[in-house]
Amino acid sequence: MNNYDLPFQFVDDPASWREADALIARIPRAARGKQKLFGVLAEALKFPRYFGWNWDALEECLRDLSWLRETKQIAIVHTALPLSPRGQQLSIYLSVLTGTIKLRGDTPPKLQVVFPTTSRESIEAALPCSG
Q: Which of 10, 75, 80, 9 is nearest to 45 (CA)?
A: 75
Q: Is the pTM of this model over 0.85?
A: yes
Is position 46 within any domain?
yes
Within a 10 A sphere around the Cβ of 129, how many other Cβ atoms?
Answer: 9
Is position 83 within any domain?
yes
pLDDT above 90 (res 86): no
Is position 4 within any domain?
no
pLDDT in tens, 3-57: 457 999 999 999 999 998 899 999 999 888 999 999 999 999 999 999 999 999 9
Is position 2 within any domain?
no
What DSSP string describes the chain?
--------EEES-GGG---TTEEEEEE-TT--SHHHHHHHHHHHTT--TT--SSHHHHHHHHHH-GGGTT-SEEEEEESS-SS-SSSSHHHHHHHHHHHHHHHHTTPSSEEEEEEEGGGHHHHHHHSPP--
CA dihedral 86, 88, 93, 95 (to 10 degrees): 110
- Residue-range definition of the domain harbouring residue 66: 9-126
Number of domains the chain is built from: 1
Is position 18 within any domain?
yes
Q: Is the dihedral of CA 84, 88, 42, 5 positive or negative?
A: positive
pLDDT above 50 (res 131): no
CATH number at residue 70: 3.30.370.10
Is position 22 within any domain?
yes
Is position 26 within any domain?
yes
Is position 131 within any domain?
no
All residues at 6 or more sequence positions from 118 whose CB lies less than 8 Å from its CB, including other chains: none
